[in-house]
């Protein structure tokens, strides 16, 4: 990390407010609010992942996670002082594949949108009330990707404006994992009959300017945001396993916190 990046992180850390007395911990980051959810069953256990880097405290680890658009959860090692960020939440069955290692605690990150919270891994953006989650750790075919987004209360992304396309391009280019994972990510367009449609039934016309040059080719029935084609739409094979982008319509519905665990950094 450069000196400039370190100074920026310190400034961000000053925005953290923890209310340990009432067993809650709220984080303000870039004017947005987040809550931490601790999976107590995973205390003193370590999933089979690699650490990020040495970190001095849990709060700093949380801020690194919030600064990465793909981070849904983090693990902190008290004794060795390290932080591990993961794009998927830690789940109860991870206990069975982890190994005993004292001093480790695990947290999922939830964005608080006032009258509800978003599922872990989703971040809001000032574009059409947009909340996005990038799934790249477990690539899926288009149907499974659609079902996963649906299970999170969202849908595969409808890429219908240049503003959204530019946002995605900026986010992907600036993230080390997204910028090096495959050439494209599934979004929500799919062929129905002879035309492409988004999941809400809106027509994705073959002359839409969001298509890449010479697209669609007619050889694939699902849409991909293609990095090699200028971050524009291309048609692709629905059966291929690709990373994918979910959007959550948080102005229509919000999620609830899990029924077990606590908000806490203790």
CATH assignment of the domain containing 224: 3.10.100.10
Asked if the structure places residue 254 within a domain, the reply is no
- Please tell me the distance from the alpha carbon of residue 266 to that of residue 264, in angstroms, as a whole number: 5
Indicate the average pLDDT of the chain: 79
Domain range enclosing 68: 3-112
Number of domains, the chain:
2
Asked if the structure places residue 261 within a domain, the reply is no
pLDDT in tens, 81-107: 788 888 887 666 666 667 777 888 888
Asked if the structure places residue 216 within a domain, the reply is yes
In this prediction the pTM is 0.81
Of residues 259 and 44, the one with the higher pLDDT is: 44
Angle between helices 3-13 and 58-66 (to 10 degrees): 110
- Please tell me the distance from the alpha carbon of residue 191 to that of residue 130, in angstroms, as a whole number: 24
Given pLDDT bands bounded at 50, 70 and 90, which one contains residue 227? very high
Adjacent-strand bridge partners of 72: none
At CA 30, angle to CA 247 and CA 163, rounded to 5?
Answer: 45
Q: What is the pLDDT of residue 28?
A: 62
State the CATH number of the domain containing residue 79. 3.50.4.10
Two tokens at 232? 């524009």
Tell the residue number behind the tokens 């606590």, with chain if given.
262
Residues with Cβ within 8 Å of 18's Cβ and at least 6 positions away in sequence, in order, are 25, 26, 59, 265
pLDDT in tens, 127-174: 767 899 999 988 999 999 999 999 988 999 999 999 999 999 999 999
Same domain, 129 and 97: no
Asked if the structure places residue 164 within a domain, the reply is yes
Same domain, 128 and 243: yes
Same domain, 91 and 137: no
Asked if the structure places residue 258 within a domain, the reply is no
Asked if the structure places residue 58 within a domain, the reply is yes
Same domain, 129 and 93: no
pLDDT in tens, 174-212: 998 898 887 899 999 999 989 999 988 999 999 999 999
Same domain, 127 and 80: no
Asked if the structure places residue 266 within a domain, the reply is no
């Amino acid at each position: 990390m450069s000196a400039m990046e370190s100074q920026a992180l310190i400034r961000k850390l000053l925005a953290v407010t923890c209310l340990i007395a009432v067993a809650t911990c709220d984080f303000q980051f870039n004017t947005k609010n987040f809550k931490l959810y601790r999976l107590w069953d995973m205390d003193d256990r370590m999933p089979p992942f690699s650490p990020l880097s040495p970190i001095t405290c849990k709060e700093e680890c949380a801020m690194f996670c919030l600064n990465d658009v793909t981070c849904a959860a983090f693990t902190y090692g008290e004794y060795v002082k390290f932080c591990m960020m993961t794009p998927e939440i830690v789940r109860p069955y991870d206990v069975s594949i982890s190994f005993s290692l004292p001093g480790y605690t695990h947290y999922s990150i939830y964005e608080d949108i006032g009258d509800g919270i978003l599922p872990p891994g989703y971040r809001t953006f000032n574009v059409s009330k947009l909340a996005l989650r990038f799934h790249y750790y477990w690539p899926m075919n288009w149907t499974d990707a659609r079902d996963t987004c649906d299970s999170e209360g969202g849908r595969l992304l409808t890429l219908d404006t240049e503003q959204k396309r530019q946002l995605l391009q900026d986010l992907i280019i600036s993230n080390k994992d997204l910028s090096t994972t495959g050439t494209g990510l599934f979004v929500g367009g799919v062929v129905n009959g002879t035309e492409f449609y988004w999941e809400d039934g809106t027509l994705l016309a073959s002359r839409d300017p969001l298509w890449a040059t010479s697209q669609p080719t007619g050889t694939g029935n699902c849409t991909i945001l293609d990095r090699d084609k200028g971050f524009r739409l291309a048609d692709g094979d629905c059966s291929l396993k690709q990373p994918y982008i979910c959007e959550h319509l948080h102005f229509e519905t919000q999620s609830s916190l899990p029924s077990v665990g606590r908000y806490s950094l203790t």
